Amino acid sequence: MNADPLSDILRLTCAQSLVTGGFCAGGSWAIRFPAPTKIKFFAIARGHCWVTIDGEAESIRFNEGDVGLMTMPRAFVVSSEPGLVPVDAMRLFSGAGKSPVCMGDGQDFAYIGGHVLLDAASGQLLANVLPPWIRIDASRTQASAFRWLLAELVAERADTRAGAQLATAHLAQLLFIQILRAHMETDAVLSAGWFRAMSDRRLAPALALMHGEPARSWRLEELADACAMSRTTFALRFKTTAGVPALTYLAEWRMRLAERALRAGATPVAVIAESIGYASESAFSNAFKRSTGHSPREYRNAARLAGMSDDVLAAGQTSV
């Protein structure tokens, strides 16, 4: 069984990490960034800085190799020390074009920033389980992986060799995955949900089974045996960790797979129903409507209309 539940979620939500910029600095400096509209990440490639988030009383120090991720829509200031008057980031970067931005002599500090794109329909599945703020300390056990990724990102962004853009994109994706892995292994208490369940090594065999064969009619006893637990112990642990019973998790995952299939193309509803374990199209349709409030055909039609609207909007933006 080679199922990888986290990879399944990342594929379902179409999570795509992009490095969108960076800067270097020296001396005293401060930059105010607007509230992000997407999941934002940044990494300190050289030196240290302070991050002050609107509404938070304390500034946070980031050292070389530290990585941050923000999901909350709040503006923040990155500075050499707290309390400095910041320069507006939009004004600073708007006229830079492809040239690297440096403040002062640029010798003390280097910063790489980017964001994570998520599918409009399924992206909340990932966005909703992440905390407002994650800081990964360079001293953690994953430090060597982060150091390597940051060094490679800096090198590729400075390189003009063929393939540098794609290499940077893949490295950014790896950085995001490493952030998620490090957060899974954090000592902080994670909220009940699928992310916390995937961080629980004792539940991993059951999740692998359900993701590996979502169409199979799994029995609670089989899942408990895979985790070397009694049925009662497994049921309690799974519900406490995931927030829902194991078989409810399976049913919800089947619905997410069905939604993706309905959005993706013209596969007959009966075929989709069979692929996720329903004996009949009517049984699947009833379950889908209970879950989403729409019949499969209504959902597919609405997704098509939304896609057409997005195409029209994109065409209009291109013509400007």
In 3D space, the residue among 149, 180, 230 whose CA is nearest the CA of residue 4 turns out to be 180
Residue positions counted in the chain: 320
What's the mean per-residue pLDDT of the chain? 90
Q: Extract the tokens encoding 211.
A: 């993701």
Mean pLDDT (whole number) for 61-66:
94
pLDDT digits (tens, 9 = 90+) for 263-288: 998 899 999 999 999 999 999 999 99
What is the model's pLDDT at position 98? 60
Most confident of 131-135, 142-146, 309-313: 131-135
Asked if residue 112 lies in contact with residue 152, where contact means CB atoms within 8 angstroms, the answer is no
Element (DSSP H or E) covering residue 82: none
What is the model's pLDDT at position 96? 61
CATH fold of the domain at 189-244: Arc Repressor Mutant, subunit A (1.10.10)
Q: Where are the domains of the chain?
A: 5-184, 189-244, 258-320
- Under DSSP, is residue 163 helix (H, G, I), strand (E, B) or coil? coil
Per CATH, is 258-320 categorized as 1.10.10? yes
The CATH code that applies to domain 5-184 is: 2.60.120.280
Mean pLDDT (whole number) for 119-148:
88
Mean pLDDT (whole number) for 236-244:
97
From the CB of residue 300, how many other CB atoms can be counted at a distance below 10 Å? 21
CA distance linking residue 203 with residue 241, whole number of Å: 9
Identical fold between 189-244 and 258-320: yes
CA distance linking residue 168 with residue 154, whole number of Å: 9
At a CB cut-off of 8 Å and minimum separation 6, what does 314 contact?
Answer: none
The DSSP letter of residue 131 is -
Q: Is pLDDT above 60 for 308?
A: no
DSSP strands (E only) in 39-84: 39-46, 49-53, 60-62, 67-70, 76-79
Better-scored residue on pLDDT, 308 or 32: 32
- Under DSSP, is residue 58 helix (H, G, I), strand (E, B) or coil? coil
pLDDT digits (tens, 9 = 90+) for 91-129: 988 866 566 789 999 999 999 999 999 999 999 999 999
Residue 70 pairs with which residues in a beta bridge? 40, 133
Q: Is pLDDT above 90 for 4?
A: yes
Mean pLDDT (whole number) for 12-37:
94
